[in-house]
A and B are shown apart, each in its own frame.
Chain A
Amino acid sequence: MKSLILIIVSGALINNVVLNQFLGICSFLGVSKQMKASASLGMAVIFVITIASAVASLLYDFVLKPFGIDFMKTIVFILVIAALVQIVEMFLKKTSPAIYKSLGIFLPLITTNCAVLGVALTNVQNGYNFIECVLSGFGTAVGFTIAIVLLASVRVRIREEDLPAPLRGAPIVLISAALMSIAFMGFGGLSF
């Protein structure tokens, strides 16, 4: 039980997926302009990464490993993730239009988000079982959501500041991310 909690906490805070491992930087920097959009993207990412980790884990344990083709994991995972996102999108469109309206447009963006593939591959590398994979995926995605919502709230305030010209745009956002990353390094001191 303790190790399962540790997997979630370490995925969300200690090894934060964007601030510590630099996966999913594109959407982290690109979509963090607005709080609302960041929160919706975060929800969509939690949804997709959790499902993708579960499916990738099952595929690896029951198809790739028994047939001895685990070197194919990169190809298989990226295709499965791309197909999965399409299916989830169609399913949401039919069954719950309300959720589709708030998350739907972000789903295609997530397909090539390297965080999804990164988590699936890291899980396999760490030799996690099914439950651990799902929890690690969930924890990582929660970490992404925390980071992007925090950065969005910082950026809302930066916008009103009078910055020196060369710092406007990307540099000040990257510096904010660096400061957040320093703060998140503090979680490395957590012990259980």
Chain B
Amino acid sequence: MNKYVERLYNGLIKENPTLVLMLGMCPTLAVSTRAMNGIGMGLSTTAVLILSNLVISLLRKAIPDEIRLPSYIVIVASLVTVTELLIEAYLPSVYDALGIYIPLIVVNCIILGRAEAYANKNTPLLSVMDGLGMGLGFTVALTLAGLVREILGNGSAFGVRILPESVEPMGIFVQPPGAFLVIALFIIIMNAIGIKTRQKKLVEGCDGCCASCASSCPKAEEVTK
């Protein structure tokens, strides 16, 4: 397989950031109340991810190793601010629906994680494809979670009513508890059909967290023992 196409496949299926790597749980749980919100959040994150991978990959020889994480955070935060202002100006309805979670893209572990794991070692073009693949994988997972929650909790899909009027939707699924339940359901299905995920990492330490706390993880795990 062409190595650029391979990056897309990797992000979408093989190492899907949400469903397989279990990264970026905060936005996944928070904005998956509607399928449309999932698309909005997913594409905003994809845009930031592609650009941050590109910039970090271009600067990978210029940034000294010791201060790479602060530099990445500044790059990502600038890109997020630009994205936030653009969404506020051109897509006000998306801006209202996602609210505080747009600036919080800065602390999305997927972005710093890809910078650390891929973009600082690879060429700009490959890094862009990696960002695109990972971003689309995140978008698909978010939209899927949003779709399940919207159908169960609101009886509609993408805002169009699909369940018959006689069926009372289960409102709990669009409330906060529904987020935990739907993600749990996804992992149960993946476990039952034997797809290997990093689900253990999610609850067994801080590994699933982010690149910048990786250095403190061994110490933290000593205490949890």
Chain A residues with CB under 8 Å of chain B are: 19-27, 29-34, 36-37, 40, 71-75, 78-79, 82, 105-106, 108-109, 111-114, 117-118, 121-122, 125, 165-175, 177-179, 181-182, 185
Known: A27-B209, A117-B106. A33 touches B204 (CB 8 A): yes
Q: Which chain B residues (141-168) contact chain A, with CB distance < 8 Å?
A: none
Interface pairs (21), CB distance under 8 Å: A21-B30, A22-B176, A25-B25, A30-B205, A33-B205, A72-B81, A78-B77, A78-B107, A108-B213, A112-B107, A114-B107, A125-B100, A167-B191, A169-B204, A170-B200, A170-B203, A171-B199, A174-B181, A175-B180, A177-B180, A185-B177
- Contacting pair A118 B104 (CB below 8 A): yes
Known: A25-B29, A78-B73, A82-B70. A109 touches B213 (CB 8 A): yes
Known: A121-B103, A178-B180. A79 touches B30 (CB 8 A): no
A191 and B139 alpha carbons, distance in the complex (Å): 39
User: Which among B29, B184, B212, B223 is the interface contact of A105 at CB below 8 angstroms?
Assistant: B223
Q: B84 within 8 Å of A by Cβ?
A: yes
Chain B residues with CB under 8 Å of chain A are: 22, 25-27, 29-30, 70, 73-74, 77-78, 80-81, 84-85, 100, 103-104, 106-107, 109, 112, 172, 175-181, 183-185, 187-189, 191-192, 199-200, 202-210, 212-213, 215-216, 219-220, 222-224
- Contacting pair B213 A112 (CB below 8 A): yes
User: Which among A113, A166, A173 is the interface contact of B203 at CB below 8 angstroms?
Assistant: A173
A56 and B216 alpha carbons, distance in the complex (Å): 25
- Contacting pair A122 B100 (CB below 8 A): yes
Closest chain-A Cβ to B197's Cβ sits at a distance in Å of 8
* Nearest B residue to A179, CB-CB: B177
